[in-house]
Amino acid sequence: MDTRVTDKTARAAYYARMQPRQLMPLWERLHMLVPPAPKPSCAPMLWRYDAEVRPFVMESGSVISAEEAIRRVLILENPALPGSSKVTTSLYAGLQLILPGEVAPSHRHSQSALRFIIEGAGAYTAVDGERTIMHPGDFIITPPWTWHDHGNEGSEPVVWLDGLDLPIAELFDATFAENFPEASQPVTRPAGNSFARYGYNMLPVDYRPAFATAPSPVFSYPYARSREALDKLARDRELDAWEGVKLRYVNPATGSWAMPTIATFLQLLPKGFAGKPTRRTDATVYVCAEGRGRARVGNQAYEFAPRDIFVVPSWTPLSLEAGEDTVLFSYSDRPCQEALGLLREERLGDG
């Protein structure tokens, strides 16, 4: 005969007695801890840049200087994650403004950062002694623990999207940061030097990456070149029914991602393209670099225009349509999920 005390009150009393010892019954939580499919805690979201976001970004320039702010950024916070500074469960996004003559002072941290230039020209980001000039659409990386500062020697405001792995580094409680003693780090190499070494399908003969997923030694992936590749492939009609023409940014020395924790992509959807749906476990942040179209994200439909930013949560079906030739930049935590054996993707709508 079963003599167990199964009554709810008796069980609750038992849980209450063990609780002061920091002991919890798994069976009350198992369904939440091991759900049958992802239940993303972030929500889909679209930020309309020109009409809704840009005025606030520009206003930040009259509220605080880049120097005082250290980083004058408006965080794009997911509406389902209030107070978290997260754009997805694992990633951060913000829009950084730098005005002519300003410097955002030099620091370094464990977290990786990417920049995707939204508008304006003439600003630079300095990484490890080398300045890279920013142009709209360029993708620029700041590897972990590299000194970096930003400045604007041009004549117009420059805005870029910052993408960081802040929540990932926070998950591991593995973050460090320090300030450089001066606002700007010394320039030790001329602009374009790292691109000449690593950016032309060639490498310095003695170069060895530090580890298999080491950050790319190419700090800048200029839009003009990436765009040219997409354009050629689109003209050759190398179209995928789900993705259009989609390329990933790589570390040329390893073939792996440009960044250890964040995957980055650029894709072209030709005018009239109506992509089939996909879903994947890596929640993704998209930026419209050119064109306009529609993203169906779960049961939401977002009409996007240049500079708009939208979020696709994990395992949420996404399909992309383009009203004109459209270029999308995107980033996700895919390298982490691949390394941990977590990544899953599904192409839907086939047959």
Query: In the complex, which residues of this chain contact ligand GTQ (CB under 6 A)?
Result: 71, 73, 94, 96, 109, 113, 148, 162, 164
Q: Is 23 helix (H, G, I), strand (E, B) or coil?
A: coil
Q: Of the two residues 19 and 179, which places its CB atom closer to ligand GTQ in the complex?
A: 179
Q: What are phi and psi of 166, to 5 degrees?
A: -50, -45
Q: Of the two residues 145 and 192, which places its CB atom closer to ligand GTQ in the complex?
A: 145
Residue nearest to ligand GTQ (CB): 162
CB of 282 to ligand GTQ, least distance (A): 21
**CB 298, CB 283: distance < 8 Å:** no
CA dist 14 to 2, 20, 29, 33, 138, Å? 18, 11, 16, 21, 59
Q: Which residues contact 4 (CB under 8 A, 6 or more apart)?
A: none
Q: Of the two residues 169 and 245, which places its CB atom closer to ligand GTQ in the complex?
A: 169
CB of 108 to ligand GTQ, least distance (A): 8
Q: HSE-up of 181 (CA within 13 Å, CB side)?
A: 1
CB of 176 to ligand GTQ, least distance (A): 12
Q: Of the two residues 47 and 242, which places its CB atom closer to ligand GTQ in the complex?
A: 47
Q: Show the DSSP H helices in 214-346 as ranges.
A: 223-235, 334-339
C-beta atoms surrounding 254 within 10 Å = 17
CB of 68 to ligand GTQ, least distance (A): 15
Paired tokens of 149 = 């500062």
CB of 95 to ligand GTQ, least distance (A): 8
Euclidean distance between CA atoms 143 and 165, whole angstroms = 11
Q: Is 306 helix (H, G, I), strand (E, B) or coil?
A: coil
Q: Of the two residues 69 and 253, which places its CB atom closer to ligand GTQ in the complex?
A: 69
CB of 208 to ligand GTQ, least distance (A): 27
Q: Of the two residues 132 and 316, which places its CB atom closer to ligand GTQ in the complex?
A: 132
